[in-house]
Structure 1
């Protein structure tokens, strides 16, 4: 099965799960309300991948600072909880800027789970030291990424940007971007068209193009400076 076919299967499975949730938790709503809930379920399927990535980053922050141990909260389980929470509050879901609303919902869910976990932890954990890459140990994927980002005409290859060996270094750089810039940039990496990104983030398609271009330039320069510092 090809990657696109596999993704379609996963989307169908997710949509089925969400529809089953709606059936198990019926509400006395008008036909317009039912249509609205079904619309949100479809949107959650479309936003699932970037939402899960956002949840993974949020969990990673708490893990990196030793607030919760690694592996206690999984991005899949937490994202599923976010989807349920979103469906429970379907009346609040905006048509424009939906992904921003989903991120706020995700933050609340993650923080609630982290706080619950903290209560169960009786001893403090030391902070994890970030891995330092120096000289020849700097991942080849990141070296290639610098060149790609610096060229506005080059495609943004997901295999490079999301490569496991480059994740820690790239995450540090992405954290320096404003949240909206970071999410717009990553949605572009996911292959979303500008008009769909604009709808999800509540900005204009023209702004999407400017944000992606500025983010590329910023990340390329930041990674270049970081490499020079480590090789000095």
Structure 2
């Protein structure tokens, strides 16, 4: 089910769009959100949808494991050399917002080893509603919540919900079973985000990740313009 809100939003902009050799670096899009919201499944679906049209790679973040990277490898969404993991050893948003050195090294190594790349998806470890990415790490960010977390999540706000370039409300197929009101969530998200786009998705539906993929394509078009 898709409520809204055309998935475009602001164009990706960075002050550092080029590598040291003068070539254009890959567009970097971060995906954050609470534990279990469906970030890794969304990354997997994006890889399946976009891998034939864009040269892409993925960096995952987990605190003490490589679980998310291993899931993507098992699903064979990309060749193994295009998936790498960062073990943060601390609160996940530390590695995507405060000390981004490990993630920067990971994305730069991917470009050196398998580039040239068009797009790198950087997935945060599961975190709370305050998780945001440093603009020094990513050019645009997606925040993923799910209906099973409660239909009051958009109303609660937090930087992830209110400021992300795209908000994804995931697992809409579960709404009837968990008592979540999708229309209420859409209204609350609109109140929190004004004109910033929102996508409601179920990866079990036929449309799946279509709207999020369209938003990513729009970001890439802006990046290469």
- TM-score (normalizing by structure 2): 0.32
Higher strand share: 2
Higher relative contact order (CA 8 A, sep 6+): 2
> Which structure carries more helix by proportion?
1
Q: Which has the larger Rg?
A: 1
